[in-house]
Amino acid sequence: MKELWSVHKIKVLVSISVLALISILGWSSLSKSEAESSIEQISFIEEVPVEENESISLEEENEMEEVEIANQEILIDMKGQVMEPGVYRMKIGDRIIDAVEKAGGFMEGADTNEVNLAALLVDEMVIIVPKEGEVIKEVIQHPVTNESGEPGTSGGLVNINTATEEELTSLTGIGPSKAKAIIDHRTDNGLFKNIEDIMQVTGIGQKSFEKLRNEITVAN
């Protein structure tokens, strides 16, 4: 009887050992699968920010260019019927109304109907506010273009269909990255048909265009 009980006891212990071994092996296999899955998830998560960082870098570059534009100054000459005529430093994007306010406003008797107060200011612009009844040939005088029409301090227009990267970077608010984008766009899509088409270029919207419109052309 004792021998039978001993044999039975051994069988029970063996069965328990086998079950325990199977459980350990199963748990090890499951843990390995979960670990591999976790590693794959971590790898995927680590890859995502790279693209986001690249996107953020492009946005930061555009923001830096916008800040640079906002800090640029131009000189304009206010003449005629304003309280304090003279040469004033203005910001890129300012309009004639801003220059009039800086010059102390209009004098009594100024013919304000002859002045486009919404016009954007351009470096070296001359604004002459006439008296009522006074005839002035050009109330707003833009910088004179040289004979060759070259861009730069002469005030010549830049042809966005033919300009080099260096010439494009002479434009208000156009840095190297945007100049390259303009050249890439016209290479891939053909020449610009009008100056408004430049807004099709990535990074150049309505705000940027308003600062460029008096500096560019598509004329042959």
Whole-number Å distance between alpha carbons of 39 and 162: 53
Pick the closest to residue 128 from 108, 142, 118 (CA basis): 142
The predicted structure's pLDDT at residue 148: 43
**pLDDT tens per residue across span 49-103:** 444 444 455 566 666 666 555 567 888 999 999 999 999 999 888 899 999 999 9
Q: Is residue 136 within 8 Å of 115, Cβ to Cβ?
A: no
pLDDT at 137 over 90: no
CA distances from 77 to 16, 87, 99, 158, 212 (A): 100, 4, 9, 23, 20
Using DSSP, state whether 203 is helix, strand or coil: coil
Q: In terms of pTM, does the model score above 0.85?
A: no
Question: For the chain, what is the mean pLDDT?
Answer: 75
Strands (E), 24-130: 73-80, 86-91, 126-129
Higher pLDDT, 52 or 141: 141
The predicted structure's pLDDT at residue 59: 62
**pLDDT tens per residue across span 12-43:** 566 676 566 666 665 555 455 555 555 555 45
pLDDT-based confidence at 180, cuts 50/70/90?
very high
Residue type, 65: E
